[in-house]
Amino acid sequence: MELNYHFEDNGQTETIVILHGFLSDKSSMATTAAELDGIRNVITVDLPGFGQSKSTGRDYGIETIADALAAMLESLTITRADVYGYSMGGRVALSFAINHPDHVNRLILESSSPGIASEEERAMRRQVDQTRADEILRDYPAFISQWETLPLFSTQAAMPRDQQARQRENRLAQKPEEVADSLLKYGTGVQPSYWTKLSQLHMPILLAVGGEDQKFIDINTRMALHMPDARLEIIEGAGHNIHMEAGPKFGILLLDYLSGGMNDGKRMANDSRI
């Protein structure tokens, strides 16, 4: 599998891979990427089904994407990189770290999860995802409008209207058949549960969640307990999409963490709220 990506060589000695969330593409991470250009070379990736990376006509799963990311780094002669993923991109980043740990320096997961542990709950989620895929194919703009009203994104109503408009434009720019196909191939219902493999991750890990996103605060609090070298940061005033809802604060957090200013090698027993 080949992925569409952009490599920004900023003349740095280290590189970071940035993975976007559902219903967007690599361009949605441009602001965050620009904030890191003074300390990292930056690779932004279109995940399958979004931007210029196809999903349809391919037989793959989330671990195939992890393998494709490893091949991408090898093609660029990059041995190791920091990896940062948001939501869906965080699930892919976690899969990459589990399947290719030797390629990962630091792992940054924003509002992400290791999947669903219960097979019964995964089966229920597959039904939900199938319904959503059908709705996407039937009336994509209507699906986007419904998606934007989910409680998970309720805090985004406080964002500036032009920022909300740009996000909606990016969502509508995706191809419905590709979006629907991606949901059925590496959505939460079909991906493996990685809960039992979290203890295998020995690289420094930053878990970032919004203070208004209680579901993911609970998930990431549990995740941190299973990870040998994890730090949980709760960003007050933000919901699920921290890098948009609290961009400047999140940018400072990333810069500080990647620069070693947060003592990322030391695990925190309790969360840190900023």
Residues in a beta bridge with 272: 233
Local structure of 172: helix, strand or coil: helix
Residue 258: how many other CB atoms lie within 10 Å: 21
Band (262; pLDDT cuts 50, 70, 90): low
The answer to whether residue 271 scores a pLDDT higher than 60 is no
Residue where the block lists tokens 């921290």: 242
Give the pLDDT mean for 155-162.
90
Structure tokens at 139: 């009336």
Q: Write down the pLDDT at residue 263.
A: 52
Q: Is the pLDDT of residue 93 over 80?
A: yes
Which tokens sit at 185? 């191939």
Distance CA 13, CA 65 (A): 25
In this prediction, residue 115 carries a pLDDT of 97
3-class secondary structure, 44:
strand
Say if residues 100 and 74 touch (Cβ distance below 8 Å): no
pLDDT in tens, 54-86: 999 999 999 999 999 999 999 999 999 999 999
The domain limits of the chain are 5-115+191-273
The string of pLDDT tens digits covering residues 204-260 is 999 999 999 999 999 999 999 999 999 999 999 999 999 999 999 999 999 999 998
Residue 268 to residues 93, 98, 221, 243, 272, Cα–Cα distance (Å): 21, 21, 11, 22, 8
Question: Residues 123-138: what's their mean pLDDT?
Answer: 98
246, two tokens: 């609290």
At 163-194, the pLDDT tens digits run 999 999 999 999 999 999 999 999 999 999 99
Q: What is the value of pTM for the model shown? A: 0.94
3-state secondary structure of 109: strand
CATH superfamily of domain region 5-115+191-273? Alpha/Beta hydrolase fold, catalytic domain (3.40.50.1820)
Amino acid identity for residue 48 in this structure: P
